[in-house]
Structure 1
Amino acid sequence: MAAGAGMTSAIMNPLHAEEMTGIMGANVMNGHDPECRNWIKRFREPAAVGEGGRERRQTRRRRSA
C-alpha cells in the first residue's frame, strides 16, 4: 500500500465511497486516526429508538454538591 510507504496524498474523487473507505482504513492502520474516532464516527450503526445513548445522557440531571 502506498500510504504505508509514505504517500501522504493522492489524486482521487472524494465522492467515491469505496475510495474514501480505503483512505479512512489506511488512516487507522497508519496511526493517523487517533483512537479510530473518524472511523467509528463514520461507520457506527445508529442507536435504536429508546436504546439510550446521547438522548438519555442529555436528560439526566447533575447531582448538586
Structure 2
Amino acid sequence: MPRDYKLQLDDINEAIGRIKQYTENMSEEAFAVDHKTQDAVIRNLDIIGEAARNLPETIKELLREQG
C-alpha cells in the first residue's frame, strides 16, 4: 500500500526545518569548511528528493499550479 502523501509532505517539511536549524547563523565560509554540516544538509536534501519523487502525480501537479 502506498504511503500517505501527507506523511511525505511532513518528511519534506521536517527536512527543511533541519537544514535551517543546521545552518542558521552560519556564514557561507563556515559552511564551506564544515563537512559534518554539509553531510547533514546533503542527507536532508536526499530525503526531500525521495519524498518529492514519491508524491502522487496529482499532488505534484497541484503544487506546481500553486507555485
Query: Normalising by structure 2, what TM-score?
Result: 0.33
Higher helix content, 1 or 2 = 2
TM-score by length of 1: 0.34
Q: Answer with 1 or 2: which has the greater Rg.
A: 1
